[in-house]
Amino acid sequence: MQRTLYGATVNLRPATAADIPVLAGIRAMPEVYQRWRGGEDLASEVADDLNDPDTHSLVIQHGDRVVGYIQWGAETEPDYRHANIDIYLEPAVHSRGVGADAVRTLARHLIVDHGHHRLVIDPAADNAAAIRCYSKVGFRPVGIMRRYERGPDGTWHDGLLMDLLADELIDEK
């Protein structure tokens, strides 16, 4: 059972069906949609994310508002064990430290409470803002994954694999 995680400025609480409309609304915003695309029925896709048994879904609350979504999954094979993180935020809170606080809060939880020694995240290679955000938490570039993800226009674009080892977490809380 997931619990609410508390960061310096955000709370990460388990996502529920009641969050679907606001999360679908955030995903529909052009700045978010271009990075976290979807089909015509974003509410259905958000519901699918929340019901995926291999993904742990949390909403990002800043003050009393839901401003985004963060999820994690884990590779459980003992010789390759690690966790991965994905996130999207409402554009109104971009460049305000909200994303870094959310990623840091979840990373701390994955390291301390779940015992992960390594975390990965994979922004688009041209997403400089996301790369800066993740670097503030301690993630480092590993390499370019060529033609990694299909964009909304149908073309393939590169992703950047970044990882964080437990002792590299820049924990400001």
What tens digit of pLDDT does each residue of 108-135 get?
999 999 999 999 999 999 999 999 999 9
Domain span at residue 146?
A: 5-168
Q: What is the pTM of this model?
A: 0.95
pLDDT exceeds 70 at position 173? no
pLDDT at 1: 66
Q: Is residue 173 part of a domain?
A: no
Tokens 């089909």 map to which residue?
Answer: 39
Confidence at residue 38, expressed as pLDDT on a 0 to 100 scale: 76
In CATH, what number is assigned to the domain containing residue 26?
A: 3.40.630.30
Q: What is the mean pLDDT of residues 140-154?
A: 92
Q: Is 61 helix (H, G, I), strand (E, B) or coil?
A: strand
What are the tokens at 13?
């609480």
Say how many domains are in the chain: 1
Encode pLDDT of 33-51 as tens digits: 988 877 789 999 999 999 9
Q: Indicate the DSSP class of residue 9.
A: S
DSSP 80: G
The residue with tokens 């879904």 is 57
